[in-house]
Structures are given as structure tokens and as C-alpha cells.
Structure 1
Amino acid sequence: MPDQVLELAGVAVLVCDPAGPPVTTTQDALDLIGAAFLGAEVVAVPASRLNEDFFSLGTGFAGEVMQKFVNYRLRLAVLGDISRHLAASSALRALVHESNRAGHVWFLPDLDALEARLTTPT
């Protein structure tokens, strides 16, 4: 399935193909942002496409990627099981907890959870 824009809870979401190219640089994140300018408000990226550095907060990569989305006024949803990363890092657990309480970046298990989150006001 190629990346596609779907409407979830009345919001245009760019749903990224799990088999798509990995996000390993900030330029890769900017490429997703550029694709979202076709009309999406949210970019849903499978966790499997994110480089391991994203989940190792000491690298700063997650912060760079998340900031790019905020700067361009797009929401980012990381979809999938990240329990292995959460088990290894209390800092990541804190980031995920705080991010999920806010409205710009969410870590969710799947598209159904994203749709439910979009239905709930932040």
C-alpha cells in the first residue's frame, strides 16, 4: 500500500506505508511533511519505519523530528508497538506519556486508536 491520505474522524491523515522508506534523517521527516502538504493535518508513521536512533533520546533525533512537525503545524502519530523501546528507557516512557497528553505528537498502537484520539478533544 502506498502512502495515502485518509479521513479519520473528519481529519485528513497521511497514512504512511509500513513498507516505505525508513525515516533515518531529518530530511526524511521533511519529505513526509512535504507529502502531507497535499492536504493532510496529521502524519501517521509506523514505528517500524523510524530509525532506532529515534527511540534513543540521547541522539536528539526524536526531538529534531518532532520539532519539524511542530514547526510546520502538523501533528505526528507514531503507530505500532514500541514496548521494547519503552522497557529500555525511562526517559522515553516520560516523553511518550507527556506527548500523549498534548496535541502535537502521539504514540498509539494503530489507526483505530488514532481515530479515537482525533475524536477526543485535547
Structure 2
Amino acid sequence: MTDELIAGDAFDKEVAEFDRSRHQVFEHLALLLKQASAAPAEADFGRVVAQAQKILSKSDLELSQLFKVSRPTINRWVRGVTAPHPMLKRAVFETFIAEVRTALKGLRTN
């Protein structure tokens, strides 16, 4: 029984460390998104979208539903082929920031 408790405590510590690491990644992503939102229109939109998509574990379909665009549009954004109108980029980044905040709220706090 004691061995099980020790193993359980060790597991809980590992989970807490993992959550702290995820929290740091999400915080870094939020900062990147805020900077990208304020950057000139020619900033690397596709790279930022690709990083956000990966960190948030969102599929092209999920992003297309989130931004109300087609899946091929998301794919073109990620590949850097196209980008939304400069006025709409800020809305895309703000939506991503809201997703990051939601993800942060979902993390366990220890």
C-alpha cells in the first residue's frame, strides 16, 4: 500500500510539472500572438498560425470552424500561401488568444 502511495505521489508530481510546462508554453504562445497582432501586415502570419495550431492541438477542420473559413483556406494560411485581409488578422490573433486563455483555465492548478 505504501509503495502505491509513493508511486501515486510521484505521478501527481509529474502531472503537476507537466501542467506547469504546458502553462509556460501557453503563456509564450499568448505573448507571440499579441506581438503578431501588433506587427505590420507583412509579418509571418502563416508561421504564427501553424505554431498556434500545433500548440493548441487544433485540426484544420477545427480552425476552419473557429474562423468560419474553409479547410483549404486554413491550409493556405499555414503554408504561407495566403493570409486574411490585414484588418482581419488582428481578429484571428485575438481569437487564438481567447483559445489560449481557455486552455490555460483548463489546466490543473497545484
Instruction: Specify which structure has the higher proportion of helix.
Output: 2
**TM-score clears 0.5:** no
Q: What is the TM-score with the length of structure 1 in the denominator?
A: 0.28
Q: Which has the larger radius of gyration?
A: 2
Larger RCO of the pair (alpha carbons < 8 Å, separation 6+): 2
Q: What is the TM-score with the length of structure 2 in the denominator?
A: 0.30
